[in-house]
């Protein structure tokens, strides 16, 4: 089974057994079971906007932070304002166990 799920303002195409990285879920710990109710599409059924009675279940594998990305701030012709900052986005890794 295939489905499109909305989590944290983003849409993810999932199948049973697939692993996805979503934005950090604050109340989820490693080993917890999470349910997603906002299912946009399952197989060939399309919701308006969501399908009713369909949930996607997953298991939280781990919480962590992604690689650091470098952010440059630069203003032309004023050399004293060059700055380099880094950012690491927190994530939650989820394995999809059941769609239905």
Q: Give the pLDDT of residue 2.
A: 96
Sequence-distant (6+) residues with CB within 8 A of 86 are 68, 69, 70, 71
Q: Is the dihedral of CA 14, 19, 23, 25 positive or negative?
A: positive
Tens digit of each residue's pLDDT (9 = 90 or more) over 21-61? 999 999 999 999 999 999 999 999 999 999 999 999 999 99
């Amino acid at each position: 089974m295939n489905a499109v799920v909305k989590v944290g303002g983003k849409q993810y195409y999932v199948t049973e057994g697939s692993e996805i990285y979503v934005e950090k879920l604050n109340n989820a710990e490693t080993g917890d079971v999470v349910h997603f109710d906002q299912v946009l599409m399952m197989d060939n059924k399309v919701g308006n906007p969501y399908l009713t009675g369909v949930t996607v279940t997953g298991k939280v594998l781990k919480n962590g932070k992604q690689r650091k990305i470098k952010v440059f701030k630069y203003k032309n012709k004023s050399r004293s304002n060059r700055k380099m900052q880094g950012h690491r986005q927190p994530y939650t890794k989820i394995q999809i166990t059941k769609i239905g």
